[in-house]
Amino acid sequence: MTAPSFDNLANLYARPGFLLRRTHQISTAVFEDECRSIGLTPAQFGVLSVLRASPGLDQSTLGRALGFDKVTVLRVLRGLESRQLIQRAPAPASRRNLSISLSASGLELLQQAQQPAERAYDRLMAPSTRSSEPNWCNCCSC
């Protein structure tokens, strides 16, 4: 079998889906590099941020807010719960649902993460100009 020619792969490398997937991989790597010392992933940062803004959400609503499927949100919540960064309790409106909120440790970690997260953002956006940032971010918004 012969090695693929990079000329033949140019079409693949120019496809928006491929570029978005690579962008996500790079974004995740940069964030994890900046947040390595506090042991926080982008998914965990997202959950903690949403819970700070909207304490007491149930698991389904939290997952929808972040675009996570049920398995992903459950996996992330279990990891955060094992580190005592979140608390789950029966929801006041429905005993069948659990209300999720930040613990004091979770809030403290989220505050510690702000500067590393901002550094990750700056690293990711460094190739763009300040005037193009709003357009780029608007293009990626749903």
Strand partners of residue 100: 57, 88
CATH (domain of 34):
1.10.10.10
Domain enclosing residue 64, as ranges: 13-120
Note the pLDDT of residue 7.
64
> For 79-108, how does the pLDDT look when each residue is reduced to its tens digit (9 = 90+)?
999 999 999 998 887 777 889 999 999 999
| Global model pTM greater than 0.85 | no
Checking DSSP bridges between strand 86-90 and strand 98-102, what pairing results, if any?
Answer: antiparallel
Note the pLDDT of residue 128.
72
Note the pLDDT of residue 136.
56
Is residue 99 domain-resident? Answer: yes
Is residue 2 domain-resident? Answer: no
- Report the phi/psi class of residue 68: left, alpha or beta, with left for phi > 0 and alpha for psi in -120 to 50: beta
Note the pLDDT of residue 6.
62
Residue bearing the bigger pLDDT, 88 or 138: 88
Is residue 6 domain-resident? Answer: no
Is residue 102 domain-resident? Answer: yes
Note the pLDDT of residue 141.
61
Is residue 127 domain-resident? Answer: no
> Average pLDDT, whole number, for the chain?
88
Is residue 138 domain-resident? Answer: no
Is residue 37 domain-resident? Answer: yes
> For 103-135, how does the pLDDT look when each residue is reduced to its tens digit (9 = 90+)?
999 999 999 999 999 999 999 888 776 665 556
* Averaged pLDDT, 12-36: 90
Is residue 137 domain-resident? Answer: no
What 3-state DSSP class applies to 115?
Answer: helix
Query: How distant, in Å, are the alpha carbons of 11, 47, 52, 56 from that of 120?
Result: 29, 17, 20, 28
